[in-house]
Amino acid sequence: MILPFLAWAQSHPLLQDFSGFQQGESVFLRWTFRSGSLCEGTRIERSQDGMIFTEIGEIPGICGSPEVAFTYTFTDSTPLSYASNIYRLELGNTGFTTNLQVEYIAVGDEGYSLLSTGNEVELLIANPPARNGVAQVFDISGSLVSEFSFNNRRFLLTEKIFRSGVYIFRLRYENNAVVSGKFIRL
C-alpha cells in the first residue's frame, strides 16, 4: 500500500478542511464546505513563491450546500517539478483560504529520483510506502558503508567520507517495504 504525503492548510471559515497530496504525476486537492456554507464560485490558484499566484482552475456556480457538508476535488496535472507547489482557493466574495504547500517530486518508474549536487547525492521519494525507515548504503563489493534512520521524503545519501565509486542503497520502511537502487559518487 502506498501512502501519499498529505498536506493540510488551516481552514477558511466556510471550510471543514483543505488538503492535498502528490498522486502519481499530479497533485490532488480536496476541500469540504461546512454544512450550510455557500459561496458563488471557487477559483483554484497555484504559486511557487507564495506571493504571485496564477489561476489553474475554476468551479463556477454556487458552491457548498445549505443542508450538508459538501466536498470538492481538483487535480493539478501540471505541478511544478522538484518544488513546493503552493495552492489557495478563492471562495467567491468571501476571500482566500490560507496557503496549502504540497511538494511535488517527479520520479521515474522506480518511484524515486536521485539528484547530484556536487559531492552530495539527494534521494527523493514521491510516494513513500510508509513514513519511517532505515537507509543503508553499500559499496560495490557489498560492504555496508552507512546506515541511518529517516522519516522524510527527501534526504542525503552521501557523506563526505564516501570516495568516488558506485554505491547501492536500500531503504527498509517500518511496514517492511523495500526500495533500492544505485548511484555514482564522482
- pLDDT value at residue 116: 76
Q: CA-CA distance, 105 to 25, in Å (whole number)?
A: 9
Q: CA-CA distance, 127 to 6, in Å (whole number)?
A: 10
Region 15-40: mean pLDDT is 90
Region 85-98: mean pLDDT is 94
Structural domains of the chain, ranges and CATH numbers in brackets: 6-104 (2.60.40.10), 112-185 (2.60.40.3080)
- pLDDT value at residue 138: 93
Q: CA-CA distance, 20 to 28, in Å (whole number)?
A: 5
Q: Is the pLDDT of residue 5 over 60?
A: no
Region 163-179: mean pLDDT is 88
Q: Is the pLDDT of residue 8 over 70?
A: no
Lowest mean pLDDT among 9-13, 60-64, 122-126, 182-186: 9-13
**By C-alpha distance, which of 126, 116, 157 is closest to 139?**
157
Residues 6 or more apart whose Cβ sits within 8 Å of residue 81 = 104, 105, 106
Q: Is the pLDDT of residue 29 over 80?
A: yes
Q: Are 142 and 181 in contact (CB under 8 A)?
A: no
Better pLDDT: 129 or 45: 45
- pLDDT value at residue 1: 36
